[in-house]
Amino acid sequence: MRMILYVKNMVCDRCIMIVRQQLENFGLRVNEISLGKIEVEPSPDANQLQDIATAMQSLGFELIDKEKDQLVEQIKNQVVELVHYSDLTTIGQSLTQTIADRLNKDYAYLSRQFSEAEGLTIEKYIIQQKIEKVKELMEYGELNLNEIAFKMGYSSSAHLSTQFKTITGFTPSKYKSAQLNNRKPLDKVK
């Protein structure tokens, strides 16, 4: 029998690899795995689930068993996937609508659940993730601010600069010239 496990703090391909190895060490077959969601078989029993939870926690991950927490983590994972691993220039609708479509839920419902659990809106979470990606792109130095703004789905570099300063306290040029390297790990963005 199969079981779906939801895991908090899975935010990158390396996380997926580590979690897969950990579950396979418990003798489970991983049928599907994506950011925060894993289908395994056979279904682990209660003792094995506790052992898995302990092992995951030692690696910085957390098994999620409450439905609302699972939904919030799914929203976060969708945002991370869209902002950090997708081409935002090809998405023909708002990120919030894309998330609602992908999770097959009403956006108002998602927004309410997320805000209650996290104390901020999905839109603000998206902005914070986008700013972390902008910091990364600026550190690489391969794109100018106009190119970064386009790549990140901003209407202009001025719009990006305004949001960047609101979140970081620095204009992008000040941030870059000061060579600040205060990027946050993706699972710490709030």
Contact 60, 26 (CB under 8 A): no
**Domain total for the chain?**
2
Please give the pLDDT value at position 176.
82
Looking at 65, 81, 111, the residue that finishes a domain is 65
What value does the mean pLDDT of the chain take?
90
pLDDT tops 70 at residue 184 = no
User: What CATH number should be reported for the domain holding residue 158?
Assistant: 1.10.10.60
- Residue 12: pLDDT band with limits 50, 70, 90: confident
Please give the pLDDT value at position 187.
60
CA–CA distance, 112 with 109 (Å, rounded to integer): 5
Instruction: Give residue-wise pLDDT tens across range 57-92.
Output: 999 999 998 888 999 999 999 999 999 998 888 887
Higher pLDDT: 151 or 182? It is 151
User: What CATH number should be reported for the domain holding residue 9?
Assistant: 3.30.70.100
Looking at 65, 99, 116, the residue that finishes a domain is 65
- Residue 161: pLDDT band with limits 50, 70, 90: very high
pTM summary value = 0.78
Please give the pLDDT value at position 180.
64
Which of 90-104, 112-126, 167-181 bottoms out in mean pLDDT, i.e. has the lowest?
A: 167-181
Looking at 65, 82, 112, the residue that finishes a domain is 65
Please give the pLDDT value at position 75.
95
What type of residue sits at position 144?
Answer: N
Note whether 74 and 152 are same-domain residues. Answer: yes
At residue 4, φ and ψ (nearest 5 deg) are -100, 125
Note whether 108 and 156 are same-domain residues. Answer: yes
- Residue 19: pLDDT band with limits 50, 70, 90: very high
Range of the domain at 128: 66-190
Note whether 35 and 106 are same-domain residues. Answer: no
Residue 178 is encoded by which pair of tokens? 């000061």
